[in-house]
A and B are shown apart, each in its own frame.
Chain A
Amino acid sequence: MMLIPCPWCGERAQVEFAYGGDATVKRPADPASASDREWHDYVFVRDNPKGPLDELWYHAAGCRRYFRVRRDTVTHAILASTPLPEIT
């Protein structure tokens, strides 16, 4: 079981978290003007890279924060863990 470093709570076992998917996917700023292809790619298409991947994790049984984890999909090594940028 992986040990995931939550930027707010520290290292916790994987069971406390929910996977949030590829963190690099961006929702089109104006969906109405997005092409069918762009929208389709956003909703349905995800890369499945071998190696480092930036992904979202949600600390469901903890602080309820989404954060970004850079994880090697081959080795499961956690390369980085950072909070999402705050915009106020």
Chain B
Amino acid sequence: MAGQPFRGDEGGLIDRERPIAFTFNGERLQGYAGDTLASALLANGIRLVGRSFKYHRPRGIVSAGAEEPNALVQLAVGARTEPNARATQVELFEGLEAESQNCWPGVGFDVGALNGVFSSLFPAGFYYKTFMWPASLWMTYEHWIRKMAGLGRAPVQPDPDRYEHRFAHCDVLVAGGGPAGLAAALAAARSGARVILADEGADFGGALRGLRATIEGRPAMNWVRAAVAELAAMPDVVLLRRATVAGYYDHNSFVVSERPAEHMAVPAPFQARGRLWSVRAKEAVLATGAIERPLVFGNNDRPGVMLASAAQAYANRFAVRPGSRAVVFTNNDSAYEAALDLARAGVSVAAVIDAREDPGPAARRVREAGIESIPGHAVINVQGGRKLKAAEVMAINGDGTACAGGDWRAIPCDLLAVSGGWNPAVHLFSQSRGKLRFDDRIAALVPGESFQRERSAGAARGTFTLRGCLAEGFRAGAVAARAAGFDKAGEPPVPDCDTQAETPLRPLWVVPLPKHTRLKRFVDLQNDVTAEDVALALREGYDNVEHLKRYTTLGMGTDQGRTSNVSGLGILAGLRGKSIPSLGTTTFRPPYTAIPFGTIAGREIGHHFAPTRRSAMHAWHEQAGASFIPAGLWFRPQVYRRPGEGMMDAIYRETKSVRTTVGMIDVSTLGKIDIQGRDAALFLDRVYTNNFRKLPVGKARYGLMLREDGMVFDDGTTTRIGESRYLMTTTTARAGEVMRHLEYCLQVLWPELDAYAVSVTEEWAAIALAGPASRSVLERVVGGVDVSNEGLPYMGYREGTVAEVPARIFRISFSGELAYEINVPADYGAAVWEAIHTAGRSFDIIPYGTEALSILRIEKGHVVSGELNGRTTADDLGFSAFLSKEKDFIGKRSLAREGLWRPDRKQLVGLIPVDKKTRVPRGAQIVEDPDRETPVPMLGEITSQCYSPNLGHPIALGIVAGGRALHGRTLHALSPVTGERVPVTVTPNVFIDPKGERLRG
């Protein structure tokens, strides 16, 4: 393991007592606790970190934060591997393994770099222009493009870590824990407001961590530590580290992505790796800081070209020299401090090149420190490939549009620190729908008119002095707290800070090229978009900023153009001869930085993805060997296989038993709605198509419900269990929808009705007992009720006991056999089920599942979701007789539309394969002549199909245009998916006992 040749002997917010071993591209290296991966790499002298996306050009570290466009690495191995991690934000931990992305076979020699050699063949819009035709080959192209482009690799194993969701409310949310954010949190919290302060870094301080600033004559970080200690001691303050406020949504709701265990190889036991906070804040303070802009000049992407503030942060915060000999290139004052700090850290600073003619006092300060100041000049190109060798400098004219020529000079260096000014991080403000404003003073977008209850403070609103940040932070915190109801919130006095006079910046969006040169000047480093690409897109007509973005991919990388968007705008404005504000900006969308999928999913994975609903008899079904099938949130027994029995054999056995002896099925999942009130009957008459007012007490009736557009909505059996009390059943799938529909009718349409509906689905366990022997079984357990055909006729209802438990007994049938449905209070469901099963033993009773139930109902031609598909009318399904002529009901008026009675509408029919052997393909299309030239007219579709063990051949239900007039005709069921084609005979839809003699017996 080598030493750390670029690490200073002292200083920095690192712990030299805690060396940390890590590997990069297989090489074992060492850093210190407090390092990021980027600072540790620089300490070890590693500058080449990755390859660019399109041209595979060698790239190094550009920034020290979330804006990093280049230094993206693949972290860890196996299930915990993570692509596109920004080395500048990855905290170093023992055993960290990182690899370069986007290069093969290695970062030093990369085959894809040939793209760069032929780069004139890869202009803006290259993929659109080249690979669009023939369209059939896109799949082939895409494979190779993806391989060459090759962003990181997603893990292929299940995620071994846990993730959590948390919800929180607060009076004031402060986004960003730099000086302004800390000041805001202090001012708000001292008034008693509940405050949440979140910062993306491992600790608070923001930019102060990388600066040598002082507050009241002492290092600014002392003030930061005192502020954090004060906040931490307050009970109503939540301090979130490693937590990015990633999204700002309606009504002051926020999403915060916290990474509690990101700085460890493996989270501690029961520790979440990611935590997603949903925060509702009365007021918000956005103190998100600012991001430095690079400058755009020839070969400005070479490793060694770095933002001046980043070089400064590496020197101050990490005691790392990001190079041995530096040149600084700027158009504003901030980089002069960087130059001085680099010199102090032992970097030999050759010169500060400034695009401005008269840099003012800042230039004087660097000259006093022995650094050459070169005003009115620009770096027009750099020399060196994988490592920077020299900066080429030339004078530029007054408006920065051309090189003055003549005084070309190359200054040897291995670090070029650049600053093109600062962009306030207005992302959250823009997400909140606030209006951005272009501020000429700093040539950047700043928050304008607010839309939600927020205010920006400090660098996030374009205030770059420390004193200004503290003052604005205190004010914003006090204002927010007062707005949240803490009237006494005041502004603490602003402490003394050293503040230098500033010379205004000079916008320089792109450095001009010397005559007769062609150099790549990168605007967007991550997506390899150059100034020439912007010009080309404009020439081809993409003059709108949104079009420019999509055509060139400018700002569309994982960095979302944090360092490139405003520069791109400036270049476009210059080319069009317009002002930047007149062009508008692209939209900032959440999240600010990527949120891991695991964090978004939280604990809602696997069988915690949704709640599980189990009936009262679930445990019995499990013991009886049932397999289960989800039905909405319910799990219903699908089939009860006996040891050694095949799936289909079991289903057919269950089906036959119901038709020949007796079976029992758990129907607790059907929706049950208790409807009461003086107008309950009238209400039912209005929601059902058929008549319920005349239904006597103690009788059940099939009911059909329509939507207001006339299509069938749901069906079920409704029983009059008292003079003004009904029990409605719904399908399992639509139970919730029907309930909401009834509430709508009662509360919105007819509030004058005295009727009330309440769901009682979960109060009752429901057992259907079906088959010729069902009465004999019931007689053994029933009490207080005569269940003979006379005592309890078909569609009758009685109350009594079953297994000595109070029970509701309905003589209704879905299977078409003699059948009863028994409802008992849910707590007794398992006992009553068990009792019925025991009583049925001598009749060979069997439990049956949903598969057998489905076959039984297809045999009887009953409709379910496939037929009730929202596009079928009552008449389509053969239910015209249920449409009362004597009253109005929901959907009736729509039935007056003649289109709903056209004879060629798709109507419900039965279908039997002509050979009585071949299964009808699931979901098949029905056509008259499959051999016709395409397009073959489609007459309809198969909605249900099965093999009928009772008939001994396959059957199906379908909806077929004019189908009722086609009984006896042969049509064809085609499945384009499987290639099957089966001739089928059209029949009525009831296959067994069409007269219904069995169920009335």
Contacts and interface: CB of A to CB of B under 8 A. Distances in A.
B747 interface: yes
B752 to A, nearest CB: 4
B253 interface: yes
B280 interface: yes
A66 B749 contact: no
A31 B892 contact: yes
Contact of B749 (A3, A27, A36): A27
B141 interface: no
Contacts of B748: 20, 56, 66, 84
Contacts of A65: 747
Interface string A20-46: 100000011011101010010011100
A60 B897 CA distance: 33
A87 B280 CA distance: 37
Contacts of B896: 36
B744 interface: yes
Contacts of B743: 58, 64, 66
B894 interface: yes
A84 B888 contact: no
A48 interface: no
A43 to B, nearest CB: 5
Contact of A1 (B249, B708, B740): B249
B709 A2 contact: no
B250 A1 contact: yes
Nearest to B167: A13
Given A2-B251, A32-B888, A87 B751 contact: yes
Greatest chain B CB density within 10 A among A2, A3, A31, A42 is at A31
B893 interface: yes
Greatest chain B CB density within 10 A among A42, A76, A84 is at A76
A32 B749 CA distance: 16
Interface in B746-782: 747-749, 751-752, 754
Interface string B33-76: 00000000000000000000000000000000000000000000
The SS class assigned to the B binding surface is mixed
Nearest to A83: B747
Given A18-B740, A76-B250, A3 B747 contact: no
Interface in B570-629: none
A50 B958 CA distance: 44
B138 interface: no
B451 interface: yes
A76 B251 CA distance: 8
A43 B890 CA distance: 11
Nearest to A75: B451
A60 B253 contact: no
B985 to A, nearest CB: 38
Given A31-B892, A32-B888, A43 B744 contact: no
Interface residues of B, number: 25
A49 interface: no
Given A2-B250, A32-B888, A39 B752 contact: no
Contacts of A60: 740
A70 B752 CA distance: 24
Given A27-B749, A64-B743, A44 B709 contact: yes
Contact of B740 (A42, A58, A87, A88): A58
Contact of A20 (B250, B253, B744, B751): B744
Contacts of A3: 251, 253, 280
Contacts of A13: 253, 280
A24 to B, nearest CB: 12
A42 B754 CA distance: 25
Contacts of B897: 36
Contacts of B249: 1
Contacts of B740: 18, 58, 60
A86 to B, nearest CB: 6
A44 B709 CA distance: 8
Contact of A43 (B708, B751, B754): B708
B251 A1 contact: yes
Given A58-B744, A66-B748, A84-B747, A43 B894 contact: yes
A44 B893 CA distance: 13
Contacts of A27: 749
A66 B251 contact: no
Greatest chain A CB density within 10 A among B251, B253, B754 is at B251
Greatest chain A CB density within 10 A among B253, B748, B892 is at B748
A10 interface: no
A39 B253 contact: no
B744 A66 contact: yes
A17 B64 CA distance: 44
Contacts of B250: 1-2, 76
A39 B893 CA distance: 8
Interface string B312-344: 000000000000000000000000000000000
Interface in B867-898: 888, 892-894, 896-897
B169 to A, nearest CB: 10
A28 to B, nearest CB: 8
B888 A86 contact: no
B547 to A, nearest CB: 25
A34 B744 contact: no
A36 B280 CA distance: 48
Nearest to A86: B751
A11 B149 CA distance: 49
Nearest to B739: A64
B744 A32 contact: no
Nearest to B708: A43
Nearest to A18: B740
A84 B746 CA distance: 11
Contacts of A84: 747-748, 751
A51 B22 CA distance: 57
Contacts of A76: 250-251
Interface in B233-281: 249-251, 253, 278, 280
Contacts of B892: 31-32
Contacts of A87: 751-752
A3 B279 CA distance: 12
B878 to A, nearest CB: 24
B251 A32 contact: no
Interface in B706-734: 708-709
Contacts of A20: 744, 748
Nearest to B254: A1
B713 to A, nearest CB: 13
Contacts of A2: 250-251
Contacts of B433: 75
Given A3-B280, A44-B709, A60-B740, A32 B747 contact: no
A32 B893 contact: yes
Contacts of A86: 751
Contacts of A56: 748
Nearest to B759: A64
Contacts of A42: 708
A79 to B, nearest CB: 13
A27 B894 CA distance: 13
A42 B893 CA distance: 11
Contacts of B278: 1
A4 to B, nearest CB: 9
Nearest to A58: B740
B898 to A, nearest CB: 10
Interface of B: 249-251, 253, 278, 280, 433, 451, 708-709, 740, 743-744, 747-749, 751-752, 754, 888, 892-894, 896-897
Enumerate the 7 nearest inter-chain pairs by beta-carbon distance, A residue then B residue, closest first.
Answer: A31-B893, A3-B251, A87-B752, A66-B747, A87-B751, A1-B253, A76-B250
22 contacts: A1-B249, A1-B278, A2-B250, A13-B280, A18-B740, A27-B749, A28-B893, A31-B888, A34-B893, A36-B897, A42-B708, A43-B709, A44-B709, A56-B748, A58-B743, A64-B743, A66-B747, A66-B748, A75-B451, A87-B751, A87-B752, A88-B754
Given A27-B749, A30-B888, A75-B451, 4 more contacts: A20-B748, A43-B709, A58-B744, A66-B744
